Amino acid sequence: MRIILKIIGSFRPIVNNCKGVDMEVKNKRDVPKVRFNIYRKRWKKKKFKDFTKLSQGLQIAISDRFTEDAETRHFYITNEFLNPNSRKNINIESPSENVICTVDDILMTRTGNTGKVITNVSGAFHNNFFKVTYEKNDTAKLFLYYLLLSYDVQKEILIRAGNSTIPDLNHGDFYSIKLSFLQLKNNPPLAPLFRLLDDLLASYKDNLANYQSLKATMLSKMFPKAGQTVPEIRLDGFEGEWKLYELKSRAETITKGTTPKDKSWQGEVNYIKTESINRDTGSLVRTASTSLDEHLGYLKRSILKEDDVLFSIVGTLGVVGIVDKKDLPANTNQQIAIIRLKRDDAIFMLNFLKSPRIKSFIKSDSTIGAQPSLSLWQIEKIKVSLPPSLEEQQAIGTYFSNLDNLIASHQEKISQLETLKKKLLQDMFI
């Protein structure tokens, strides 16, 4: 808890602007575990039926949905809206007033992906949503929004929705949820604090998406395309044509991992699976382990070394990683090829194997069965474009390494902020 409070201290200017002072930890049942100490009132027990009213959305046939906007049409809010990567824009014609919401309203999914809460969106909402109406003189919108997202309320929503294939929350079950509620005449800094967290998360996610997009672009432009001998974009100070080599000729060895007999995944040695590899940066995270005895025994053939390049060859193909010193001792399984280079730069090779040319190779050469797969022979035959000098390889490797550090930093900050938000939603509400 001290760590949480320390982090919250970084929000002091926001807190002070909201007339908050300090925060303190409570252990009473009628106050939150963590609260701003200028607020002394006890939270009162209520049910949602005491201060909210639900209205359900409208199911519109696909044939009556439009991608074009018009004066009489409204944006149609469906579960698709919850997908941050969605680019669909669906509109419907002249919906009734009772299924229209504004930016001041709160929507919550009632079925399927039950309990998702959104606001600041206007349009007509789908039958999968409830609109949660409330008395605006007594209840602040953002307070209610984050109350619905709080740990205890979410738990009750999911319990009442059931655990069938398609969870479904009805009006009565929602109204019956008991909760603790703070009557708001002076809006406490709860909402601004969480809004700040959300704004920070959105900012970091936007930056992360930009860095990921930049990397995808540079992977396509900093390595020669098929049939070309120089890349579209080249670092200053380097010239000359690139040459093609078979990967086998550049490697000390190309082999694959070994599956351990012990499937407890416990032990002193890092055991790398495909899911252990960060798909953006190629760095490794510990997801399983094996014993030192197995590692030095029948798994000896696949002991990993620093700068080994890893390439998934079964299931999800072409996930590329690299072994850092901190990952050792380590071993890997039969779904991953181990590429141990003679003298080429490992980070350069890691990124070349992420390039569009290799993605095309995977699509054309993989065997499609119960699980897609590539053989070691196919990996050995991969055509690798290399610049005239090792120095250029290293410079390209450094460029992508710096970009990966930015990506990893943003991923870590997003994870920390999401953890903090989850903890505060649990501790600042009852």
**What span, in angstroms and rounded, lies between the C-alpha atoms of 322 and 337?**
11
Residue 322 confidence (pLDDT): 97
Q: Which residue's entry shows tokens 């991608």?
A: 67
pLDDT digits (tens, 9 = 90+) for 127-139: 999 999 988 777 7
The count of other CB atoms within 10 Å of the CB of residue 90 is 21
Residue 134 confidence (pLDDT): 87
Residue 18 confidence (pLDDT): 42
Residue 366 confidence (pLDDT): 72
CATH of span 44-181: 3.90.220.20
Residue 346 confidence (pLDDT): 97
| pLDDT of 22 above 80 | no
| pLDDT of 265 above 90 | no
DSSP 340-387: EESSS-HHHHHHHTTSHHHHHHHHHH-B-SSS-B--HHHHHT-EEEE-
The count of other CB atoms within 10 Å of the CB of residue 128 is 22
37 or 123: which carries more pLDDT confidence? Answer: 123
Residue 101 confidence (pLDDT): 92
Residue 16 confidence (pLDDT): 44
Domains 44-181 and 243-386 share a fold: yes
Residue 20 confidence (pLDDT): 43
- Confidence at 81, pLDDT banded by 50, 70, 90: confident
Average confidence (pLDDT) over 350-355: 96
Residue 19 confidence (pLDDT): 41
Q: Three-state SS for 206?
A: helix
Residue 183 confidence (pLDDT): 62
Residue 38 confidence (pLDDT): 60
**What span, in angstroms and rounded, lies between the C-alpha atoms of 62 and 79?**
14
Question: SS3 breakdown of the chain: % helix, strand, coil, rounded to 5?
Answer: 40, 20, 40
247 or 68: which carries more pLDDT confidence? Answer: 247
Every domain of the chain and the residues it spans: 44-181, 243-386
Tokens of 290: 């094996």
Rounded mean pLDDT of the chain? 87
- Confidence at 39, pLDDT banded by 50, 70, 90: low
Average confidence (pLDDT) over 88-106: 90
pLDDT digits (tens, 9 = 90+) for 356-405: 999 999 988 777 666 889 999 999 999 999 999 999 999 999 999 999 99
What CATH number does domain 243-386 carry, 1.10.630.10, 3.40.50.720, 3.90.220.20, 3.40.50.970? 3.90.220.20
